[in-house]
A and B are shown apart, each in its own frame.
Chain A
């Protein structure tokens, strides 16, 4: 029960971030713009959505890294007899690290999301700065490459016949961030829309 609540604490804000970056999130942005001015513009809405997605992507990655550390101590965190069992995946020493450097997927997620968050903050604070175009391209590239990692990790879940909800939330965050960066790229290419406040 507590476990599901914790997953929801990461998943709901991530989905809210996704809602902000997609075109039909405009109505939500408009309704909140009186309190949060940044949501009044398309660019502000997408960067705010991306900020939320990257932050919670970072947080859920840190959580999976913590879970894998706790399981290695001998504890268990979310073991269950149902298909929703993250211990069998995060605690599996063959599957919880990348096949090249043997780095925990959790720490990789933390580093990637921290870097995405950094780029988003720079774009948000200096939208017409010299780094904007480069960072939008980097963000699209990184989250695009992340789709390959997501596919690999989903193949592990299919192979094991288990679903890790924390990992799934991190995967959703990556997909949502890719959508956000693609939307940002389209907006940036349309200079007038980008510059309009």
Chain B
């Protein structure tokens, strides 16, 4: 065994330096591991929702949309005062989005603080309107405004015609729905189960 090892006259210096640095590295990693509990950003349940950027139509004009302003990072599970977020990724020319638009608008009214029959937290509804790469799916801000008023929606529509948000969220097709906790953590994703958004809200939000 001894004959197969190359003699290294500097092994002492190298070994001691390597040990010192490795110890330092692992101490630092241990401190970080014990004092922080990072949450990944992504679109799976339990991950922090990625940002949604762009201009949003609020019924009167297109204004800069601030997705983060909807969240309270100090919210704790079970706290009834926090406001939840429901977001739909849709295309105004997608037939299934058109079919479900009425229902989505009704849910926005049902799960609202203005509804005396709903004893759960307020859910902020919103829609991110994109333009799918399918012939005949050309859209515009005017078309988004018309779609919103046609279905009597009173929540913001975000302009995602360039598909930036859709790509960031990894949306394979429309419509796609997400329910997000008041602290910005995704609580429910459509397509993963048999329940719809309304059933998910009733199941997951704290109620009196």
Q: Which residue numbers of A lie inside 8 Å of B, CB to CB?
A: 58-59, 62, 65-66, 68-70, 72-76, 93, 110-111, 114-115, 117-119, 121-122, 125-126, 129-131
Contacts and interface: CB of A to CB of B under 8 A. Distances in A.
Given A121-B17, A126-B10, A72 B39 contact: yes
A121 B10 CA distance: 12
Contact of A69 (B21, B25, B37): B37
Given A62-B28, A118-B18, 7 more contacts: A58-B24, A66-B32, A72-B41, A75-B73, A110-B25, A122-B10, A125-B16
A114 B10 contact: no
Contact of A62 (B18, B32, B41, B48): B32
Contacts of A118: 17-18, 20-21
A73 B38 contact: yes
Nearest to B28: A62
Contacts of B31: 62, 66
A196 to B, nearest CB: 20
B199 interface: no
Contacts of B32: 62, 65-66, 69
A117 B21 CA distance: 7
Interface residues of B, number: 30
Interface in B4-59: 9-10, 12-14, 16-18, 20-22, 24-25, 28-29, 31-32, 35-41, 48, 50
- Please classify the interface of chain A as helix (H, G, I), strand (E, B), loop, or mixed, using the class held by over half of its residues: helix
Contact of A129 (B9, B28, B40): B9
B85 to A, nearest CB: 15
Contacts of A66: 31-32, 35-36
10 contacts: A58-B24, A72-B38, A73-B37, A74-B184, A111-B25, A114-B22, A125-B17, A126-B10, A126-B13, A129-B13
Contacts of A114: 21-22, 24-25
A69 B38 contact: yes
Given A118-B18, A122-B13, A131-B14, A93 B183 contact: no
A129 B10 contact: yes
B2 interface: no
Contacts of A119: 17
A75 B48 CA distance: 12
Interface string B61-89: 00000000000011000000000000000
A111 B28 CA distance: 11
Contacts of A115: 21
Nearest to A121: B17
Nearest to A62: B28
Contact of B13 (A70, A73, A117, A125): A125
Contacts of A72: 38-41, 48
A194 B15 CA distance: 23
Nearest to A118: B21
A125 B21 CA distance: 14
Contacts of B39: 72-74
A119 B14 CA distance: 8
